[in-house]
């Protein structure tokens, strides 16, 4: 199989200004430009655009593009795209007449310049339009949904136009061993001599079920290697911080995967929790980074009970047009340790007569309770070396909370 092409173009077009002299000139020019501190989601969009993950987009969408993408996953120009990529604010009066603006990073101390944007349109979305986008992208307008909450909080004024990205926010500095651009991963895949490549999306530490899922997918598609690609941006309260997840994954790969078969990488984006639509976005930017297959499991990119357990798989059959993407989807079921089989298996493939109690399964709440109490997780559920990293984290959090309370 030949290396997979980026989405929407023959070659990758990252928006990061790689030339140091040009970057310095733009930073100098930014001093005299109107400035806008963007929201965290818009900053993450800039990082993804700069990294080449959102190829072939050239910047932020206007309201018409956003509505078209929300409604039918295509821009008015015909580009297949699953989620609006926007720079939204509550009030644009300070830049209303500007043709060019400097976008400031909300997530780095001092709000440095993140990108330069040419303003092609400033559109005010109506309440009905915001509701429609929310309904289509998140399948809910419930403000308790973390993605809807962030979308509405950003504002309804869409600032559209191409951007030139000047840095990768905090991601490259905070995660130098893990953060990689789409182009860097393509080069990594080329250097490894891999043709078939499985991508695994994660925002959580990897337990034995995840480990087995990657191995099963690699075997069944005949992959040369796997890229574990973790989200490094903002999550909802209570989720495990990226640096802890990173340590867990590195320990698992070091001890339990064959050498030179897995690359550990990360990307700078805030979680949308958009379920099916976010799964399609994941497929788009995994194609851009050179993966030929993406594992889509149970409740992929979901939260709470907003989506059916396999809606993120169904969307690829029911709503994604044939030929819209080159990347292939590996559809996975829940995986768990079977006491009968003596190994981790996909539950739908369990031998006849299997009962729920034959599997070793723990809820996220139960896992957190056990770790916070200093209790070992079952070895059938978590590798002991990984569990220790998690337990140490939860113990530190518990001690910090005790000190704060005192």
Task: Please list the active-site residues.
Answer: 203-204
Q: What is the DSSP string of 39-55?
A: -HHHHHHHHHHHHTTTT
| Tokens standing for residue 381 | 């559920």
- Pairwise CA distance, residues 104 & 320, whole Å: 35
| CB neighbours of residue 232 within 10 Å | 28
Answer yes or no: are the C-beta atoms of 112 and 105 closer than 8 Å.
Answer: yes
| Tokens standing for residue 245 | 């997840």
Residue 262 backbone dihedrals phi, psi, to 5 degrees? -135, 135
- Pairwise CA distance, residues 3 & 6, whole Å: 10
User: Residue 109, SS3?
Assistant: coil
Answer yes or no: are the C-beta atoms of 363 and 207 closer than 8 Å.
Answer: no
Cis before 377 (ω within 30): no
Q: For the chain, give me the number of helices (H) and strands (E)?
A: 13, 15
| Stretch (H or E) spanning 278 | helix 276-288
| CB neighbours of residue 332 within 10 Å | 23
- Pairwise CA distance, residues 271 & 269, whole Å: 6
The conformation of residue 240, written as its DSSP 8-state character, comes to P
Answer yes or no: are the C-beta atoms of 37 and 88 closer than 8 Å.
Answer: no
Residue 162 backbone dihedrals phi, psi, to 5 degrees? -70, 155
Answer yes or no: are the C-beta atoms of 174 and 271 closer than 8 Å.
Answer: no
Using the structure block, give the residue that is written with the tokens 């976005």: 281
């Amino acid at each position: 199989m030949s290396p997979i092409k980026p989405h929407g173009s023959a070659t990758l077009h990252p928006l990061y200004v790689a030339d140091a002299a040009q970057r310095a000139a733009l930073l100098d020019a930014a001093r005299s430009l109107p400035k806008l501190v963007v929201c965290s989601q818009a900053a993450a969009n800039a990082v993804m655009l700069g990294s080449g993950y959102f190829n072939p987009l050239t910047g932020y969408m206007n309201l018409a593009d956003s509505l078209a993408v929300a409604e039918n996953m295509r821009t008015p120009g015909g580009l297949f795209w699953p989620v609006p990529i926007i720079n939204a604010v509550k009030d644009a009066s300070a830049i209303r007449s500007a043709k060019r603006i400097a976008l400031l990073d909300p997530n780095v101390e001092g709000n440095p310049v993140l990108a330069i944007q040419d303003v092609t349109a400033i559109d005010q979305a109506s309440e009905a339009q915001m509701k429609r986008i929310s309904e289509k992208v998140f399948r809910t307008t419930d403000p308790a949904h973390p993605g809807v909450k962030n979308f509405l909080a950003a504002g309804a004024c869409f600032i559209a136009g191409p951007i030139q990205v000047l840095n990768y926010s905090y991601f490259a500095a905070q995660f130098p061993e893990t953060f990689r651009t789409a182009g860097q991963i393509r080069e990594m895949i080329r250097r490894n001599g891999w043709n078939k490549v499985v991508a695994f999306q994660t925002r959580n530490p990897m337990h034995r079920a995840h480990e087995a899922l990657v191995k099963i997918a690699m075997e069944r598609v005949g992959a040369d290697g796997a890229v574990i690609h973790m989200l490094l941006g903002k999550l909802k309260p209570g989720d495990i911080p990226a640096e802890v997840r990173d340590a867990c994954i590195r320990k698992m790969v070091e001890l339990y995967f064959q050498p030179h078969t897995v690359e550990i990488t990360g990307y700078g984006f805030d979680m949308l929790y958009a379920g099916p639509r976010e799964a399609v976005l994941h497929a788009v930017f995994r194609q851009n980074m050179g993966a030929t297959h993406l594992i889509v499991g149970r409740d992929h990119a979901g939260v709470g009970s907003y989506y059916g357990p396999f809606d993120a798989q169904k969307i690829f059959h029911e709503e994604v047009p044939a030929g819209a993407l080159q990347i292939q989807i590996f559809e996975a079921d829940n995986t768990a340790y079977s006491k009968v089989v003596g190994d981790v298996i996909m539950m739908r493939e369990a031998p006849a007569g299997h009962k729920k109690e034959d599997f070793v399964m723990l809820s996220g709440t139960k896992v957190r309770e056990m770790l916070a109490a200093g209790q070992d997780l079952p070895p059938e559920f978590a590798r002991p070396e990984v569990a220790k990293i998690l337990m140490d984290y939860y113990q530190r959090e518990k001690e910090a909370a005790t000190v704060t309370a005192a």
